[in-house]
Structure 1
């Protein structure tokens, strides 16, 4: 007697959406998330627009297998490696609104031709990053990423043993200067006026032979290629330096998280749980927009973790109990 064929379990019907996941942002976090979700056969739209935060930097460093790659080349490789995954779509578009709907979200975006379109999705990943707020010091923006640096883990090796400066005031400049002293024995602190340094901070800096200059600064002097040569003080004195490190304030590059009502931490980063989900169910965030260390490799890892969490959540929603 032939064996009876049992009916296969089928997932319950889901309300239709255009995509399973829409990723807003096409940097390391967004592309990494798209790669994993593509491998999960998920319908994904990646919306990317604008230059990356590190566009002025000559290279990305301390990124496993990609140490020294140009920022544009890293993103190009990331996009190219999405091509085999036919469920992943990339569009040059700026998302202007995210609206919660019964079965997910509806996003409104403007494409590169200026035409507005909408798309629905079950989940969203915000990988929109941050913008740095540079001091209004002549030469600082022009040398940003080359002579003016923010991360010793990204750039310290390239300027090791060189005469370096650290710009800023108070606790932030003290901690950064002590960290920079790992890469060079010739480090100075330039506070551009009173530095608001405690006696203990000054003692710690002296112990590392880090001098403190509290004279107002006129401008940074360098080459047309963005390399620093001198810090020029208001009194006309010039201090030869190869690079100056700063710890700039930041703000969210996109207003989408605030617009939809996400929770933020005290430093202005988008709060996320251990899976990368924000305070809005179904809305995830990854990369520099979220709390923690900011590096391309870490952003990529956060994008992967959020993508894994989303795929597992979608699977639970699709599979009958």
Structure 2
């Protein structure tokens, strides 16, 4: 039950980055509201890796433990819902939720993540985050030395293949259509025995999200244990753009070294503003954003 309408800071997004920022601000004695719908982007991923003290833990367990710890700080409150509008006022910001609740704050932190735009390939979405992976640092160890496919083309495909070859040599690059690799790139991949397949992909056969075969439109099939893919994405929440926050060429919220967006009083952390997507990176950026917001509030109180 929310017992107040005005806060010093409202955090939109209560996953790893938002919770990390909330802890930093709670420990700074700030009045904080965290608005979250409870649908993190990695909810389908069975295990989180490369996060010290939490390696191999289920994402839901990490977030539940984090929320319990943040809830210890009495100045931090939680609202389960979706923020649907935001207005910049002279004294700060007004946020309205889907249920019609209105809250105000001096500062806003958007820790809202991005939305992956997955290809319309049968079986792909069901395997995403389980056996179709984006990051070898997060998941490569678990599929090391296994028969692996990479879906990419051109320069990205070439660089991605080089990267993944650190974890397995049993690789094939699926360009999903005519290859746009240069002759030199093709020759280098062939030298390293990385097969290039230009057939278009029809579907991914799987068992409970664990990929078994890739089926092409030619009806050819290959058996693999894992697939790597870097999807395009868009901002999960459009409210920062409504406020006028600028985006980078990559579609991320543009922030400075203190994680301030291009709109005064608005900060961003996590996947919506950093390219390195992992739980550890999200936690780090959230912690720093919380400290940055607190520092700005202190400075303004001394004016």
TM-score range normalised by the length of the shorter chain: over 0.9
SS of residue in 2 equivalent to 1:123: strand
Which residue of structure 2 lines up, in the alignment, with residue 307 of structure 1? 290
SS across alignment from 2:150? strand
What's the counterpart of residue 203 of structure 1? 187
Deviates more, 1:47-56 or 1:243-252: 47-56
From 186, 191, 197, the equivalent of 1:213 is 197
Q: Gaps (5+ residues) in structure 2?
A: none
Q: Does 1:66 align with 2:54?
A: yes
TM superposition shift of 1:207: 2.8
Distance 1:272 1:83 in 2: 28
Q: Which residue of 2 aligns with 1:85?
A: 73
Q: Confirm whether residue 267 of structure 1 aligns to residue 267 of structure 2.
A: no
Structure 1 residue 307, shift from structure 2 partner:
0.8
Question: Structure 1, unaligned stretches of length 5 or more?
Answer: 1-15
Q: Give the aligned partner of residue 282 of structure 1.
A: 265
- What residue number does 1:28 align with? 16
Match of residue 128, structure 2, among 137, 140, 144 = 144
Tell me how far 1:83 sits from its aligned partner: 2.1
Note if 1:296 corresponds to 2:289: no
The structural deviation recorded for 1:220 is 1.0
The total of aligned residue pairs comes to: 300
Map Cα deviations across residues 191-236 of structure 1 (whole Å, 9 max, x no partner). Answer: 121021111221221232211011122211111x111111112222
Q: Distance in 2 between matches of 1:157 and 1:39?
A: 36
Higher Rg of the two aligned structures: 1
**CA shift digits 1:59-112 (9 cap, x unpaired):** 1110111011111111101100012200000110211111111111111112xx
Deviation per residue, 1:230-275 (Å, 9 max, x gap)? 1112222221100110011000001111111101111110000000
Q: 1:48 to 1:307 in 2, by over 3 A?
A: same
User: Aligned partners of 2:225, 2:151: CA distance in 1, in Å?
Assistant: 13
Contact 2:14 2:38 in 1 (8 A): no
Q: What is the TM-score with the length of structure 1 in the denominator? A: 0.91
Q: The residue matched to 1:108 in structure 2 has which SS?
A: strand
> Could you say what secondary structure the match of 1:178 adopts?
helix
Distance 2:188 2:245 in 1: 40
2:229 aligned partner: 246
Q: 1:108 aligns with which of 93, 96, 112?
A: 96
Separation of aligned partners in 2, 1:68 and 1:306? 26
Instruction: Give the match for residue 10 of structure 1.
Output: none
Q: What TM-score do you get using the length of structure 2 for normalisation?
A: 0.96
How far has the Cα of 1:291 moved from its partner?
Answer: 3.2
Aligned residues of 1:228 and 1:243 also touching (Cα < 8 A): yes
Identify the match of residue 134 of structure 1 among 118, 138, 144.
118
Deviation at 1:292, TM superposition (A): 2.4
